[in-house]
Amino acid sequence: MTAQLLITLGVLAFALPIAKKRLDLSRAKHPSLTGHSRMAKRVASWLPGYEFNQEKFFACDDAPKLIAQQRENSFYSLAQTLQSKHPLSIAMTGQAREIISDLQFTGAYRVPFQFSPIVRENLKVGAFIQSADGIYVTDLDGQRFFDLTGSYGVNVFGADFYKACMHEGSEKVKNLGATLGAYHPCVLDNVSKLKSISGLDEVSFHMSGTEAVMQAVRLARYHTQRKNLVRFCGAYHGWWEDVQPGPGNPMPPRETYTLRDMHANSLHVLRTRNDIACVLINPLQALHLNQGAPADSSLVDSSRKASFERQTYTAWLKDVRRVCTEKGIVLIFDEVFMGFRLAKGGAQEYFGVKADMVTYGKTLGGGLPVGVVCGRSDLMKRFRPSRPADVCFARGTFNAHPHVMGSMSVFLEKLETQECLSVYEGLDERWNERRIKFNESMAQNGFPLRAANMSSVWSLYYTEPCRYNWMLQYFLRSHGLALSWVGTGRLIFSLNYSDADFQAVLSRFVSACHEMEEGGWFWHPPQMTNKLIKRQIFKEMFFQ
C-alpha cells in the first residue's frame, strides 16, 4: 500500500464519522425555514418590504368590485365604531406610540406587513386600560372587554387573585421595603413549597423567565462541560440569544441545535452526539409542533394549524427523558408559560415526566416579575471546592426582592387552598368541552374558523384559504373581546371563566364572524389555495 493511499484512508477514517454526525444533525432539522435558523435569518434579511395602496388593500386577492366595495365600507365603518367607542384610549396610545419603542413594534406587527400602514392609520387600538376585575379589563373610556390576553400567561387564576397576592404580599414584607441581599423570612417557606411542587432539591430566584432559562442553561453547561444546547423547532424560551438563534436576533446562531420536535432523528442526534449539555422543553409547543408563535402578523393565508394530543406528546417526552438519562444530558422543562396552568405540579405532573431542572416565572410571582430555577442539587451548585476559581457566576440586584417574595408567598399559600385545588379538577375536560362547543358553533354557522386548545390556551385557525383572516381581531375587539397583540393565534383564558362567561365570549365570536362575513372578508376566489396565495405574495414582493 502506498503512503498516499494510507494517508487518504487515514483522513477518511477521521472525516467520515464527522461527516456522518453532521448529516445526522441536518436530518434532524425540520424542513421548514423555522428549522433552519441560519437560512431563516438570511431570508429575512433579503425579503423586501412593500405596502398595499388603497385599491390593492381591499382586493389583493382579485376580488370583484362588489366585494372590494363591501370590504371598504366595512373597514371604514369598523374604524369609526372603534374610534367613537374608545376615543381617550386611542388618543393616549397615539401620544405614546412616538416614544414607546415597544408600542411601535407591536403596532406594526399586528397584521401582515403589506396591510399594516393602512390598518395603523385607520383601525386604531387603545393600549391603555384603567382597571381589571374578574375576567374583564376596562379601558380609559369605560369600555369593558373580556380579557383573552391572560397577561401573556401570568393570569391563571383571574385578575382579583393577583391583586390579592400583591396586596397581601406587600403587607407581609412592608417593613423591609426594598432592602436587598438579605432575605425576608417568607423566602424559606417559598423555597420549601417550590421544592415540593417541583420535586427538585434547590431553588434560585431571578427577575424574569428569560434570566431563569439563561441560568439553567449556564449551569447545565458548567456541570456537563459541554457547550451545546438543544431547543425544539419554533419553541420560545425568552429573548436571550442562545435560545433565539433565528430571525429576531442580530447575532448568528451559536452553540444551539434546533431540532425537529417529536421526531426519531432528533432522538438519534441526542443519542449519538457527545457535545450536548441540555435539552429545553417548552410544553406549549405541543399545541403547534415545529412552528413559531402563531401571531396574526404571519397570517398571510390559512395554512396555520394547531392541535394537541396529550398521549402522543407524553410518549415523546418519555423518550426524550430516557435518552437524556442515558447520555447525561440535562433535561430542562421550561414551565415559565405553562407552569401552574395545567396542574399544580405543572407539566411534570401533567405529563408524568420528571425533569432535571425546571424554570418557572410569570404567574409564580403572584403578579410581580419573577424567574425561578429549581434543580437537582448537583446541577445547581455554582462552584467546585476542588477548583475554587472555576465558578459559574450568576447574580442579579433584584433577585428575591422582598415584594416579589411576599407576593409569591401569598400565591403559593393560596395554591394550597381547596378553592384553588378544585380549579384543577376536571380542567382539561372543561376546556376541551368548551373548544368542542366553539367548533360546533362555528361549523353550524358556516364560518371558516376553528379552535385548538391545550387546556385553557387556545389557538385559532382558518379552514378556507383567505388573505384577510387577520381582520377578525378587530371585529372581536369591537365586540368587547381583548386579545394580545399576536391576535387570534393565541387566546389565553384565566381559569375563573365560568360556563356562562364562556358562552358570552362565544356569542361575541359569532357576532364578530357575522360581521366578517357581511364585510366580505371571508370571501375568496373559488380556485384559491394557500399555495396560490404564497405564490401571489412572492410575485408582489419581487415583480410589482
Ligand X SMILES: Cc1ncc(COP(=O)(O)O)c(C=O)c1O
Q: What residues make contact with ligand X under the rule CB under 6 A? A: 152, 208-210, 213, 236-238, 282, 334, 336-337, 361
Q: Which is nearer to ligand X, 281 or 329 (CB)?
A: 281
Classify 257 as helix, strand or coil: strand
Half-sphere exposure for 421 (CA within 13 Å, toward CB): 4
Cell, residue 7: 494517508
Give the helix ranges, DSSP H, for 64-185: 65-85, 87-97, 101-108, 116-122, 159-173
Q: For ligand X, which residue has the nearest CB? A: 209
Q: Which is nearer to ligand X, 107 or 361 (CB)?
A: 361
Least distance in Å: CB of 483 to ligand X?
16
* Cβ neighbours for 278, distance < 8 A, ≥ 6 positions apart: 216, 217, 220, 221, 224, 229, 230, 329, 330, 331, 332, 357
Q: Is 458 helix (H, G, I), strand (E, B) or coil?
A: strand
Specify the residue, 147 or 515, whose C-beta has the smaller distance to ligand X: 147
Instruction: Tell me the C-alpha distance between 375 and 206, whole Å.
Output: 14
Q: Which amino acid is at 529?
A: T
Is the Cβ of residue 90 or residue 216 nearer to ligand X in the bound state? 216
Q: How far is the CB of 251 from ligand X (least distance, A)?
A: 18
> Rounded to an integer, what distance in angstroms lies between the CA atom of residue 244 and that of residue 253?
8
Q: How far is the CB of 358 from ligand X (least distance, A)?
A: 11
Q: Do 486 and 105 contact (CB within 8 A), yes or no?
A: no
C-beta of 360: minimal distance to ligand X in Å? 10
**Residue 84 Cβ, how far from ligand X at the closest point, in Å?**
34
Backbone φ and ψ for 425, nearest 5 degrees, come out as -70, 125
Shortest Cβ 285–ligand X spacing (Å): 9
Q: Which residue has the cell 483522513?
A: 11
> CA-to-CA distance for 135 and 190, rounded, in angstroms?
28
Torsion of CA 281, 285, 290, 296, to 10 degrees: -140
Q: Radius of gyration of the chain from Cα atoms?
A: 25
CA separation for the pair 513, 501 (Å, rounded): 19
Give the nearest distance from C-beta 281 to ligand X in angstroms. Answer: 9
Residue (282 or 473) nearer to ligand X, CB: 282
CB of 232 to ligand X, least distance (A): 12
Q: Closer CB to ligand X, residue 359 or residue 409?
A: 359
Residue nearer to ligand X on the CB measure, 213 or 329: 213
CB-nearer residue toward ligand X: 365 or 520: 365
